[in-house]
Amino acid sequence: MPIRDVRLRASEPMKPWWELAPLPSNVKNAAKEIEYFGGTPLQRLLPWLSKPKATPPGRPDASDDRSLVLFDFSETSPDADPDRFARVWGELNDVVMGGRSEAFATIVTIPKAQGGSCAKLSGYVEGEGGGFASVRTRDFETPLDLEAYDGVRLRVRGDGRRYKLILRDTDDFFALSWHAGFDTVENEWVDVEVPFEDLVPVLRAEAVGEGSPDARAFRRGRIFSIQLMFSKYEMGMAQLNKTFASGPFALEVASVKAFARPKVKEEAIVRAVRAAGGAEEATKETNEGGKSSASP
């Protein structure tokens, strides 16, 4: 009896339920985004199944010992790998609340003189029914500790619109989040610094005032996610973004870093010595001052 040549063919990966379901495109996008951050319906139903998370970022900055690289999207960086990017960053648009905006986050190629690649959030935002599009990290497996730093520095190129940086110091998506607006210059790379003290607490789309029972201090040592957003609202729904208009938009991001300000004593020594004309002595005195300040 002849031996039959049986070859097993690898089956194609099963498509997610929301792709197969006869749903409008905005509903499919909403299901996709909810699943990306919150996990499959089974993961959300069973509490012992963990939702998808990302490795917390952070590595030394070779160009500045007072900063920490959180994400670097230049072509030589591992953060620019499209597969790695897709495991950490995902779109979160107003379709999750019934809106019609559609935007995508990707790694794109730019001239080598500008880094060779960057992250880009672009698409179409619709003011009616939501009015926002964003890109967000998944929650980090363990919170990011930026206690030693004073804020976040972004290198971005935009379209002249005003965007928002949003940080969360809890893994509860519906709890307090921290917002700060920043401006872009059309078709120009700019460095934007967002000090932690400029962050405004927002809860359920409303800014939280100092006298509110929900008010509290920002916990810079427990950052669970980072988000960049284009929205028709500034800080909560009571304040409109004056640069907002329905239509296409684009924000490119070269890097996201944490920065620390120079110590007050170091600044004073440098200013005093440089005023006397001794730049080299300033560096020496700064180092000696740092040593003496650590002595008993």
Q: Could you tell me what percent of the chain has a pLDDT over 70?
A: 78
Indicate the CATH number for domain 53-259.
2.60.120.430
pLDDT score, position 293: 38
Record the tokens describing residue 122, joined without a space: 């672009």
- pLDDT, tens digit, for every residue of 258-290? 999 987 656 666 666 677 765 555 455 445 544
The average confidence (pLDDT) of the chain is 85
- Ordered by start, the domain boundaries in the chain are 53-259, 264-290
> SS3 for 291?
helix
Name, in order, each residue with C-beta under 8 angstroms of 207's C-beta and a sequence gap of 6 or more.
200, 201, 235, 236, 238, 239
CA distance 166 to 199: 8
- pLDDT, tens digit, for every residue of 55-65? 999 999 999 99
Instruction: Tell me, yes or no, if the pTM score tops 0.85.
Output: no
Q: Residues 177, 90: contact at Cβ < 8 Å?
A: no
Q: What DSSP assignment string belongs to 156-205? A: EEBSS-EEEEEEESSS-TTS-EEEEEEE--BT-EEEEEEEGGG-EEEETT
Q: Cα-atom radius of gyration of the chain, to the nearest Å? A: 23
Q: Residues 186, 159: contact at Cβ < 8 Å?
A: yes
- pLDDT, tens digit, for every residue of 5-41? 444 444 556 676 556 667 677 766 777 777 777 766 6
User: What is the enclosing helix (H) or strand (E) of 283?
Assistant: helix 279-294
- Can you say whether the dihedral through the CA atoms of 80, 83, 84, 90 is positive or negative? positive
pLDDT score, position 12: 57
Give Cα 287 distance to the centre of its chain. Answer: 34
